[in-house]
Structure 1
Amino acid sequence: MADEPARPDPDALLALARREGRGRLKVFLGAAPGVGKTMEMLAEAHRRRAGGADVLVGIVETHGRAETQAAVGDLPMLPRARNPYRGQELEDFDLDGALARHPQILLLDELAHTNMPGSRHPKRWQDVEDLREAGIEVWTTMNVQHLESLSEAVARITGVRVAETVPDRVLAEADAVELIDIPPAELIERMRQGRIYRPDQANRALQGFFKEGNLAALREMALRRTAERVDADVTSYMRANAIAGPWPAGDRVMALIGADPSAETVVREARRVADTLKAPLLALHVEQPTADPDADPGPALRLAERLGAEAETLVAADLPSAILREARARNVTHLVIGRGRPGRWRRLTGRTLSGVLLRQAADFTLHLVPEPAGQPRRSAPERRALPAWLGWAAPPALVTLATLVGLASDEIVPEGALGMVYLVPIVAAAVGFGPVHGGVAAILSFLCWNFLFLPPRYTLTIAGPQDVVGVVVFSLVALLLAGTTGGLGRSVRAARARMLSLRRLVEFSRRLGAAGDKGDLVQAIAEEASRIAGGPACVLLLLPPLPGEAVPEPVVRASLPLDAEPDDASMAAARWAVANRRPAGRGTDTLPSAAWQFRPMRTASGLAGLVGLRPPEGGRPLDGEADRALDALLDQAAVALERADLMEERARSEARAETEALRTALLTSLGHDLKTPLTSIRGAVATLRTSGPALSEAVRADLLATAEEETERLSRWIANILDIVRIESRQIEPRREMVDLAEAAETAAARAARAHARTISLDLGSRPSAPRLDPVLLDQVLANLLDNALKFSAPDGQVALRLAREGPEVGIAVEDDGPGIPREDLHRVFDPFFRATRTDRVAAGSGLGLAICRGLVAAMGGRIAAESPTQPDGRGTRMIVRFPGG
């Protein structure tokens, strides 16, 4: 079949399309300050302006250097924006002015710069995004240490943490990157000459950041990052123009990872090749539909990632084609594969992977890695509980059964058609036990059919041409069925195993979602880990590190069975796993003598904990499906634990917010309600002290009455505070006795009417029976309700108190014709310190009266509710208290 014509890569074309209409970005990249980035940018700007381009200097930081100021020359400059801040006027880049001016090329120095307060964006690189969206080409400068991904590495090398960083994607999306580079010795000499910093700053820099070793490391970072950028540009050009790789522009190494024990050896050898070539490494695993479902490339892929490789997995039926297609797409130049141990038939026919690649991969350098010395041949893991001899006994038994069927129908069915009967045991053996067993059944079927049914019978002779054709067709069909159905059986078993794992993961996800608290959650994780591993399991969470220590302490929080806990030697492996965030213990490369194996539960924000497993002594490691299921469990468990922590933190934050709100309300109320009576008392006392003899008797009496009234008010307010504290702490114990509600209502109404000089309407009904209540608490409830009604209604308003029998309950209603309570505030009027928005403007209050009423009523076994409005014009409030009848 002719090769298909190469087509451009859609992703590469899409990336080019995104750039259309946007302004270009050119970055002058340096290893450190003083290498000449700004000077080179200005020189290039002069050349472009001489060619007729519209060049504008948005901002250039000269840092007082006359050399840089002279390099600006006659280039037009954009006036800087001014912004007052803390008594001084700051100057910075004017983004709005640049957008309005819209030059062809804009020079913008120091991409990582932080803008002055009040700017549209906090960072200058964000200004660049707006400029590019407007179609303006931007030239800018930056040092490699300002890249966000390198800030930690730079801090470790130089001891100086860079505060201003630029996301790596900004550099990756730049249209051009020009490296400005000078040797470290020359840069240090420029520093000593005062061409970079002032002499006092230069001396400090030479003793700290500007050491030759630091500069050499930064220079290597800049060179590598620029080389990676150029390499990415070459790959993008190849994909966009449908150029088949590899291009010998740079070396790339690809390790082909299988599921055999030698895969990790291939990864290590590929890493050595890549290090020798100074080339990036890609690890590729191609999963075939007919592959052994228990084969697991996971350990080799994880090893590749730990060694700094990019790991990728593909699914394809044609292994060599998939490898070569991916290698050409990635511009790979070196392929590293294991020699392996292919079957004799594959070696004889030249169908081994290495043989096919030698013939087809003429553009690549092929590295064959031998298996480690003494490496035993991997035996296929047992996938079923059936004994091994049953697989070999099944083909003869199935063929015998088919023979009996053929003998029974010998006189009915022609001998040629009897061959179809023998296809059944072939298919059954291949599906049930594999292609080899299907092949054995095919051979036995052919021999029985030929010997018993083909003329001349009871011999293995083939008489005529028709029989020859039949035998050939039968043999081909039988072998084809044995191979295809055997592969189909493996695929079905693999799909069934994956579906079972998926179903279990879904069920486990539901269990995680249904877990009541963190204790239930860790117990569910331990149970699922034990089920997957088939042995004891535990979950360890992390305690904060002790003073002077940097590593959190792992502590067992759940286990299955309950007495399964790691010993001291195993806990050392757990601490190592926490410190390094890698598996440790039995079956790993670290502390393999420990009885337990620990696997970390990692999240984006850190380590959520560990899952511990105790494999049996001498037991086999987890098979592929179980290992993948356990990895999925770890990922889900880590997310669930992180979610639980976030929910706990949210609950704590809400509790803190409520406490803060209550504290603020209390302090506000204290400040208001204590200050007012104290001011009145102090004023009355001061007036009596200074002008007492000169005042008339009536004025002195009025001042004393005012002081007495405000003192009572203050005492009442403090009593309310004490009451609400007692209610909240549940310190109130009602003293129950038979109470005449009518008498209690009359007494409370009379007292409130005298205090407010108002009239209260009473409706005592049929004098309901006396319930068992605390008369003191009931009197306080009625007093608060009547005081509220009188306070929040007009001086000539109506206030009514009614008693009524409501089935098994007795009701007390206090009603006024005041402004009413908004509907949205009805459910909150009984909260401490809450004041309804409408009533707050009518009369001042502490917001404790109704809260105290609710607490006292609840203590006596009753309930209270508010209704508003009670009148057609939207006014009026009714407070209803209900107690069990006597």
Structure 2
Amino acid sequence: MPDEPARPDPEALLAMARREGRGRLKVFLGAAPGVGKTMEMLAEARRRLAGGADVLVGIVETHGRAETQAAIGALPILPRARIAYRGQALEEFDLDAALARHPRILLLDELAHSNAPGSRHPKRWQDVEELREAGIEVWTTMNVQHLESLSEAVARITGVRVAETVPDRVLAEADAVELIDIPPAELIERMRQGRIYRPDQASRALQGFFREGNLAALREMALRRTADRVDADVTGYMRANAIAGPWPAGDRVMALIGADPSAETVVREARRVADALKAPLLALHIEQPTADPGGDPGPALRLAERLGAETETLAAADLPTAILRQARARNATHLVIGRGRPGWWRRLTGRTLSAVLLRRAGDFTLHLVPEPAAAPRPPPPEHRALPAWTGWAATPLLVALTTLVGLGFDGVVPEGALGMIYLVPIVAAAVAFGPVQGALAAALSFLCWNFLFLPPRYTLTIAGPQDVVGVVVFALVALLLAGTTGGLGRSVRAARARMLGLRRLVELSRRLGAAGDKGDLVQAVAEEASRIAGAPACVLLLLPPLPGETVPEPVVRAATPVDAEPDEASMAAARWAATHRRAAGRGTDTLPAAAWQFRPMRTARGLAGLLGLRAPPGGSPLDGEADRALDALLDQAAVALERAELMEERARGEARAETEALRTALLTSLGHDLKTPLTSIRGAIATLRTSGAALSEATRADLLAAAEEETERLSRWIANILDMVRIENHQVTPRREMVDLAEAAETAAARATRAHGRPVALDLGVRPAVPRLDPALLDQVLANLLDNALKFAGPEGSVTLRLAREGPEAAIVVEDDGPGIKREDLQRVFDPFFRATRTDRVAAGSGLGLAICRGLVHAMGGRILAESPVTAEGRGTRMVVRFPGA
């Protein structure tokens, strides 16, 4: 069987597809200032301009160098934006003008530059990201020491910590990297000639940063990073084009992140190791419920995410076992850990994490990261909410109280048994204050028991072997209780904190689920966010974009307190967050000068809304626990808002379906009920016009009577339609006055008898109280009910109109002995255009009579219902109308 042809690597094809539609990025990379990055970029730009390309200089920092200014030549320059800051005007790159101009190639010098406060983004590399999203090709310059993963190594080599850094992923995602390199000796000569800095600055630089050894090390870093990039480009090309070649060895780097100050250094070192091995990076943090927290690992985890690592957090009591288990499960080959500052007892006994991993991690390559340069020693963690001296003072007091209890039982209880009561202060001290205080309580308890109760008394001498065994057993039990109970206390406190957090999440879920409408829901979210953050909060929902616009407009729908609303400057951050679906505002990388921070509430269907938080001036960001609680709130709120939106869409769909059904019924009724009378009228008129003279007087009179009858029928049908429209639009206003129901019943029965030629039986034996009704509306209700009953009772059927008194209410009953109404149709006979099925036929008519009756009765404050059957034979229909008495 022939070998299958080689296929392109899907991952390589996917990487190529991601670049489609984005602007290209070309980085001119150098080892240090002065190597000629800007000059080479400008020279290449002039060549492209001469070839007809649309090239624009966004910003070039000349630093007063005449040759750099001359190198710009005829290249068009974008005017800079002026930003007011602390009483002075700063000139910065104009991002909005560049987006509006949209050149083919845009030149942006110094990628690691920090923008002036008030700019849209705090860093220039973030401006580049937005330009690329808009499809603009960007050329930029950068020195290797500005890479975030190399900042620690550069600080150790040069003694200078670089403040402005660029995430490594920016360089990794660049489409082209061009190394601009010259030997260190030539660069130093340029410095001495004043071609890089002014003479006074040059002399200081030559004595510090620009020493030949520093430049050689930086040059090696630049060459290695460029070589790694070239290797990645070649490998990507080979994979995308199915070219056989060497493949990675499958290494995987795992960074072990703690809660100490060296955690971020561990992340950067692990990133460098992973880049050197061309391996994926995993950042792992393990929480120990039985250990006191030493700090917040959140910043290190967020740094790992920015550097492209996959982060994971686990909980385990045995730290080395959990690390090795997870490393084997994730196929890690390299473990990167910090040295930390373990206690002297752990170092003496060889129980430090690095020592244990060296003994047990024989299958892994272990990297130990030194402490960061000039790292301050962290203050000792505060183990309890109470002051530290409380435990040391309370422990002797507990032992003293127990001794007083023992003296009270002295002579009643054997001295050996008296030692058991000293276990109480040991357990209490260990649970309340920790294992150290528990051990202190054990030592004090043993001394008191031995001195006061064991013979010979009032000495620390132990007389017999039995007492020796008892003392040893007591000491071992006491120390064991002190250690295990202290750990158990911390575990209980940690479990209680987690249970409280889970309980709040459950309560929040219940509250969000019980919200009546979207207004109640967003108010609940704002209140909960304000409680978590301890600051004013608001919820913004998105309005559809206006015609001609593509950006949705965020609008405040709930706030806690009610007057907490973002200012116009903060709303710019809200619009950016809504457009890009990323956090913006204070404490983020976008518009950090805004007073509010906005976080998106994302769902599978898109953006459900924004949550805004206002921090006080100079306020610190949320701690790790509050940040995680807020993330959980955002997820739950997004799901709840999506559910509310789906329910609203469902309600709108049902309303549309009901409207469509009514429209269909109306059109069907129009087609039937208008066609029949119009046909009769047209036929009578046509006969009179063509044969009128030949017809007898009686025939002409009959034709005219038929046309008149059908005209009245048509008028009555149209009147019903207009009445139904008035009722649906709540335009019926009853005119209240005292009405004699017996007189109204007699009048309606007489009119129905004349119209149908059949009598209507009256039963007025019980005269109810006179209610306050509208006589005209009541007459129309009785006419419709009697007309409906006479129509459906059949030619031989009978109809009865009866009055009754039911407590304080007056009742009008219209009853017929016709075939009746099916049980399943009783709840629908009052719906517009519904016509009940009578035995084997559908009732004639428009289906509006009973609907109009219900609307008019409700407008007058009454009730109407239908009952069927009413006879023992299963026949008949009864319509009952009830009004409040006078």
Same-fold status (TM-score > 0.5): yes
The Cα of 1:494 is off from its aligned counterpart by 0.8
Query: Which residue of structure 1 lines up, in the alignment, with residue 789 of structure 2?
Result: 789
Please report how far the alpha carbon of residue 491 of structure 1 lies from its aligned counterpart in structure 2 after TM superposition. 0.7
How many angstroms does 1:431 deviate by?
Answer: 1.7
C-alpha distance in 2 between matches for 1:372 and 1:286: 22
1:808-827: CA deviation from partner (whole Å, max 9, x where unpaired): 33333222233321111111
Q: Indicate the SS of the match to 1:251.
A: coil
- Distance, in Å, in 2 between the alignment partners of 1:280 and 1:521 is 42
Secondary structure at 1:879 match in 2: strand
1:646–1:266 distance in 2 versus 1, CA, 3 Å: farther
Letter in 1 for 2:775: P
Which residue does the alignment assign to 1:351? Answer: 351
Residue of structure 1 equivalent to 2:874:
874
Distance in structure 2 (CA, Å) of the matches to 1:380 and 1:620:
21
For the pair 1:279 / 2:279, whether they are aligned, the reply is: yes
For residues 623 and 434 of structure 2, what CA distance do their matches in structure 1 show? 19
Confirm whether residue 157 of structure 1 aligns to residue 20 of structure 2.
yes
- Gapped runs of 5+ residues in structure 1? 1-25, 32-142, 160-212, 232-247
What pairs up with 1:557-636 in 2 under 5 angstroms?
Answer: 557-588=557-588, 590-592=590-592, 594-615=594-615, 622-636=622-636
Take 2:552 and 2:325, find their aligned partners in 1: how far apart are those partners? 47
**1-structure distance, mates of 2:775, 2:601:** 62
Structure 1 residue aligned with 2:544: 544
Please, what TM-score do these two structures have when normalized by structure 2?
A: 0.67
Is 1:339 the counterpart of 2:335? The answer is no
The C-alpha deviation readout for 1:326-371, integer Å capped at 9, x for no partner, is 3223322222223322222212222121221122212212223344
Change (3 A) 1:663 1:795: same
Amino acid at match of 2:433: F
Distance in 2 (alpha carbons) for counterparts of 1:483 and 1:615 = 43
State the Cα deviation string for residues 232-284 of structure 1 (Å, max 9, x = none). xxxxxxxxxxxxxxxx9622222323344544443444344334433333333
Residue equivalent to 2:814? 814
Alpha carbons of structure 1 residues 447 and 859: separation in structure 2 relative to 1, 3 Å: closer
How many angstroms does 1:850 deviate by? 0.8
Taking the aligned partners of 1:438 and 1:821, their CA distance within structure 2 comes to 85
CA RMSD of aligned residues (A): 4.2
Question: For the structure 1 residues 612 and 389, does the alpha-carbon distance in structure 2 shift closer, same or farther, using more than 3 Å as the test?
Answer: farther
Taking the TM superposition and a 5 Å limit, the aligned residue runs for 1:235-274 are 250-274=250-274
Instruction: Return the offset for 1:692.
Output: 3.4
1:510 corresponds in structure 2 to: 510
Which residue matches 1:433? 433
Q: Partner residue of 1:823?
A: 823
* 1:500 to 1:268, Cα distance in 2 relative to 1, 3 A: same
Letter in 2 for 1:833: F
| Counterpart contact for 1:498–1:625, Cα < 8 Å | no
Q: Is the 8 A contact 2:835 2:842 kept in 1?
A: no
State the TM-score, normalized to the length of structure 1: 0.67
SS of the aligned residue for 2:337 comes to: strand
**Identity score, percent:** 82
- Residue of structure 2 equivalent to 1:730: 730
Aligned partners of 2:384, 2:294: CA distance in 1, in Å?
Answer: 12
Tell me the CA shift for residue 223 of structure 1: 4.4
Distance 2:661 2:787 in 1: 26
Relative distance call for 1:749 and 1:395 in structure 2 (3 A) is closer
Q: Which position in structure 2 is the counterpart of 1:755? A: 755
Partner secondary structure for residue 831 of structure 1: coil
How far does the alpha carbon of each residue in 1:13-63 deviate from its partner, in whole angstroms, 9 at most, with x for none?
Answer: xxxxxxxxxxxxx998845xxxxxxxxxxxxxxxxxxxxxxxxxxxxxxxx
Separation of aligned partners in 1, 2:791 and 2:731 = 29
Q: Give 1:490 shift.
A: 0.8
Q: Structure 1 residue 677 and structure 2 residue 707: aligned?
A: no
Indicate conservation of the 8 Å contact 1:501/1:625, yes or no. Answer: no
Does residue 642 (structure 1) correspond to residue 505 (structure 2)? The answer is no
Q: 1:380 to 1:565 in 2, by over 3 A?
A: farther
Alpha-carbon contact 2:836-2:843 (below 8 Å) kept: no
SS at match of 1:828: coil
Work out whether residues 339 and 371 of structure 1, in 8 Å CA contact, stay in contact via their aligned partners in 2. yes
Between the aligned partners of 1:277 and 1:501, the Cα distance in structure 2 is 41
Partner of 1:88: none
AA matched with 1:277? L
- 1:292 maps to what in 2? 292
Q: What does the per-residue CA deviation read over 1:70-91, in whole Å, with 9 as the maximum and x for residues that have no partner?
A: xxxxxxxxxxxxxxxxxxxxxx
Whole-angstrom CA distance in 1 between matches of 2:619 and 2:474: 46
Counterpart residue type for residue 824 of structure 2: E
Given that 1:734 and 1:777 are in contact with CA atoms closer than 8 Å, whether structure 2 keeps it comes out as yes
Q: Structure 1 CA distance, aligned partners of 2:380 and 2:550?
A: 45
Note the C-alpha offset of 1:226.
11
Measured against aligned partners, the alpha-carbon deviations of 1:470-507 in whole angstroms (never above 9, x if no partner) come to 77666555444333222111111111212222222222
- What is the match of residue 163 of structure 1? none
What is the letter of the counterpart of residue 560 of structure 1? T
Alpha-carbon displacement from aligned partner over 1:99-123 (angstroms, at most 9, x marks no partner): xxxxxxxxxxxxxxxxxxxxxxxxx
Preserved CA contact (<8 Å) 1:293 1:493: no
Q: What's 2:801 paired with?
A: 801
Equivalent runs, 1:166-245 vs 2, <5 Å: 220=236, 223=239
Find the aligned partners of 2:277 and 2:268 in 1 and give their Cα distance: 14
CA contact (8 A) 1:294 1:624 kept: no
Task: Kindly state the Cα deviation for residue 716 of structure 1 after the two structures are TM-superposed.
Answer: 0.9
Alignment length (residue pairs): 675
Q: Which residue of 2 aligns with 1:137?
A: none
Could you list the per-position Cα deviations for residues 558-585 of structure 1 after superposition, in whole angstroms to 9, with x for gaps in the alignment? 3333333344454444444444444444
Return the offset for 1:885: 4.4
**Map of 1:404-423 to 2, 5 A cutoff?**
423=423
Cα distance, 1:744–1:519 mapped onto 2, change above 3 Å = closer
Counterpart residue identity of residue 709, structure 2: E
Q: Tell me the equivalent position of 1:319.
A: 319
Contact (CA 8 Å) 1:820, 1:877: kept in 2 or not?
Answer: yes
Which has the higher mean CA deviation after the structures are superposed, 801-810 or 708-717?
A: 801-810
Q: State the Cα distance separating 1:534 from its structure 2 match.
A: 3.3
| Residues 834-882 of structure 1, C-alpha deviations (whole Å, 9 max, x = no match) | 2123379354211111111122223333322211122344332122223
> Matched residues in 1 for 2:498 and 2:677: separation?
77
For residues 79-98 of structure 1, the aligned pairs below 5 Å read: none
1:263 & 1:819 partners in 2: Cα distance? Answer: 87
Conservation of the 8 A alpha-carbon contact between 2:251 and 2:279: yes
* TM-superposed deviation, 1:290: 0.8
Shift in alpha-carbon separation, 1:821–1:604, aligned structure 2, 3 A: same
**Aligned CA distance change for structure 1 residues 384 and 317 (closer, same or farther; 3 Å):** closer
Does the 8 Å contact 1:426/1:441 carry over to 2? yes
Bigger Cα displacement from structure 2, 522-531 vs 688-697: 688-697
Distance verdict in 2 for CA 1:381–1:785, change over 3 Å: farther
- Residue 513 of structure 1 deviates from its aligned partner by 2.6
In 2 relative to 1, CA 354–719 (structure 1 residues): closer, same or farther, beyond 3 Å?
same
Query: SS of the residue aligned with 2:826?
Result: helix
CA–CA separation in structure 2 for the residues paired with 1:885 and 1:464? 104
Greater CA drift, 711-720 or 794-803: 794-803
3-state secondary structure, aligned to 1:565: coil
Cα distance 1:331–1:650, how it changes in 2: closer, same or farther (>3 A)?
A: same
Structure 1 position 461, deviation (Å): 8.6
Give, in whole Å, the separation in 2 of the partners of 1:308 and 1:224: 22
Change (3 A) 1:324 1:822: same
* 3-state SS of paired residue (2:647): helix
Could you say if the C-alpha distance between residues 686 and 288 of structure 1 is closer, same or farther in structure 2, counting changes exceeding 3 Å? same
1:765 equivalent to 2:765? Answer yes
SS class of match (1:792): helix
Query: What are the superposed Cα offsets for residues 604-653 of structure 1, whole Å, 9 maximum, x if unpaired?
Result: 32333333344556666545544443333332222222222222222222
- Classify 1:335/1:219 alpha carbon distance in 2 versus 1 (closer, same or farther; 3 Å): closer
Q: Which residue in the other structure is 1:838 paired with?
A: 838
Aligned twin of 2:365: 365
Shift, 1:589, TM fit: 5.1
- Write the distance in 1 (CA, Å) between the matches of 2:817 and 2:653: 41
Q: Partners in 1 of 2:748 and 2:423 — Cα distance?
A: 103
SS at match of 1:847: coil
Name the amino acid aligned to 1:665.
A
Aligned-pair CA distance for 1:720: 1.0
Distance 2:816 2:707 in 1: 30
Output the amino acid matched with 1:655.
A
